[in-house]
Amino acid sequence: MTKYGSFPGTRPRRLRTTPAMRRMVAETRLHPADFILPAFVREGVSEPVPVAAMPGVVQHTRDSLKKAAAEAVAAGISGIMLFGVPEEAKKDAFGTAGTDPDGILQVALRDVRAEVGDELLVMSDLCLDEFTDHGHCGVLDAAGRVDNDATLERYAEMAQVQADAGAHIVGPSGMMDGQIGVIRDALDQIGREDVAVLAYTVKYSSAFYGPFREAVGSSLQGDRKTYQQDPANLRESLRELELDLGEGADMVMVKPAGPYLDVIAKVADAANVPVAAYQISGEYSMIEAAAEKGWIDRDRAILEALTGIKRAGAVNILTYWAVEVAQKLG
């Protein structure tokens, strides 16, 4: 053996030498079509209202939401997920504004659909929490507990109203048992077999939702641990996946994304439908806050976080940076 025999013959670094080399061998690529933009529309405001805990995010007016939707089309992203923020006086125990054809969410769905047609998938959060005076995702029984089956009846009505308002896709996020099957039946009963259901199959009871609750003006007292999942559990998520697929989910989602990359990977391995992940408000706000302090490189951190979510197996990512990143990817 020569004196050079101790040097490595295999050198992975050869495939990292230049930006062009790294780009050529990249195993995971982000594309504008990967992204869905969550957007908030607030009733009764004349100007967009900044969300203090989410720098750069606003509660839209109807007009500014239409502009945001048009911008999303131009950026080439796939969809926009709408969340309605009603006037406080319109909240009640049953979330009536959520099923009012003239409620803020339904009006916004019609606005956006009229603006973008089929160029952008118009998606709708199907949940009662923004519309209830108690802030829970369902109606309460006499003991103050969320009544699963009574809530399903409200979800069925909500699905039909949202479909009539123009939603291409409804996203049931309340984590009620049996919600996908009931919603699918409700849509089919009014001849809306064309409306897809994106199941929030895995939704953990997470500390990272805090900024979102400001964004939707949540009235929640207490927590949602009796219906959202325990962060300690993984097998439970796979059970939820099996149930949602059996009930007719067209797509499934994991929420949050960053702290649950292992769950995304397991769901992606097991699912025979597209898998989405929601990079939620707390994930967004942590990066923005650290970048504002000068502690991290904002743009690199955003791309790294999104690449990790896609590498884990997400086909689509709901992210508040959807349009910004899509524009940069060009």
Residue 73 CA: distances (Å) to CA of 22, 242, 291, 327: 30, 34, 28, 11
Considering Cα of 54, then 57, then 58, then 59, what sign does the dihedral take?
negative
Which residue in 139, 161, 152, 204 sits closest to 181, CA to CA?
152
What 3-state class would DSSP assign to 132?
Answer: strand
Residue ranges of E strands in the chain: 35-42, 49-50, 58-60, 79-85, 121-126, 169-172, 196-203, 251-255, 275-278, 316-318
Q: Is 203 a catalytic residue?
A: yes
Give CA 89 to chain center in angstroms: 27
Catalytic residue among 3, 66, 67, 203: 203
32, 46 contact by CB (below 8 A):
no
**What is the C-alpha radius of gyration for the chain, rounded to an integer number of angstroms?**
21
- Token match 């940076």: residue? 321
Contacts (Cβ under 8 Å, ≥6 apart) of 56: 288, 320
CA distance 90 to 286: 32
Q: Amino acid letter at 290? A: A
For residue 21, what is the enclosing H or E element? helix 19-25
Catalytic residue among 66, 91, 255, 310: 255
Crossing angle (nearest 10°) for helices 322-329 and 298-312? 90
Q: Is 66 a catalytic residue?
A: no
List the catalytic residues.
203, 255
